[in-house]
């Protein structure tokens, strides 16, 4: 009798898990992906490459980041986000020319580092790391600029300083995966 009771419990749990955790259309955080998101392109590694609305930009978001707004991704549990902007008719070298330590200071952020760095597709770009606070909580932002003579691709990745050791390289790799 006890065996049948345990068997019924196991069957119930199995059926419940199949209904609660479907394999398609929903990620582990419960975000339901629409058809457009599921039909996203795949990059050479087989990872989903999301295409933000209203741009021709493709990027590999980090695991568990979900689409947020028109041109971004968010991981609410980590308080981290990625925003993507395309600026037409402006070469990125012109945009970055004026981004100096003094300019960042006037914007209320502190420039921590800057680096010329290429995308995973070997396109030139410039990365800045800046520090700022939100409600007295220290954050950092990766600001990455790339593009060509006709447009600038500007990607911001924000994360709390307390999670830098976990998030920085993940966000940097995502930012550098940009394709356009």
The predicted pLDDT at position 23 comes to 38
Average pLDDT over residues 91-120: 95
pLDDT band for position 18 (50/70/90)?
very low
**DSSP conformation letters of 44-88:** TTS-EEB--TTS--BB-PPTT-EE-SSSEEEEGGGTEEEEEEEEE
Q: What is the pLDDT of residues 50-74, one digit of tens each?
A: 566 666 788 989 988 888 888 889 9
Helices first, then strands: H and E counts in the chain: 5, 9
Q: Judge residue 91's burial from the number of C-beta atoms within 10 Å of its C-beta, 0-12 exposed, 13-18 middle, 19 or more buried.
A: middle
| 100 within a domain of the structure (yes/no) | yes
| 2 within a domain of the structure (yes/no) | no
Structural domain span for residue 135: 40-176
Q: What is the pLDDT of residues 117-157, one digit of tens each?
A: 999 999 999 999 999 999 999 999 999 999 999 999 999 99
Q: If DSSP codes are grouped into helix, strand and coil, which group holds residue 114?
A: strand
In the chain, how many domains are there? 1
| 114 within a domain of the structure (yes/no) | yes
What is the share, in percent, of the chain residues with pLDDT greater than 90?
Answer: 59
| 28 within a domain of the structure (yes/no) | no
Q: What's the distance, Cα to Cα, between the start and end of the chain in Å?
A: 64
The predicted pLDDT at position 56 comes to 75
**100: domain CATH number?**
3.40.1000.10
């Amino acid at each position: 009798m006890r065996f049948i009771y345990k068997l019924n419990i196991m069957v119930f749990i199995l059926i419940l898990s199949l209904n609660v955790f479907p394999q398609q259309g929903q990620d582990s955080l419960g975000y339901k992906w629409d058809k457009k998101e599921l039909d996203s392109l795949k990059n050479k590694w087989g990872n989903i490459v999301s295409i933000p609305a209203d741009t021709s930009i493709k990027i590999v978001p980090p695991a568990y980041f979900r689409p947020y707004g028109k041109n971004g991704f968010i991981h609410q549990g980590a308080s981290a986000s990625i925003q993507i902007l395309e600026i037409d008719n402006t070469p990125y070298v012109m945009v970055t020319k004026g981004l100096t330590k003094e300019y960042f200071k006037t914007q209320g952020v502190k420039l921590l580092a800057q680096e010329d760095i290429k995308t995973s597709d070997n396109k030139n770009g410039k990365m800045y790391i800046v520090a700022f606070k939100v409600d007295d909580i220290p954050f950092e932002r990766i600001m990455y600029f790339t593009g060509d003579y006709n447009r600038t691709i500007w990607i911001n990745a924000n994360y709390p300083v307390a999670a830098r050791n976990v998030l920085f390289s993940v966000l940097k790799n995502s930012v550098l995966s940009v394709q356009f």
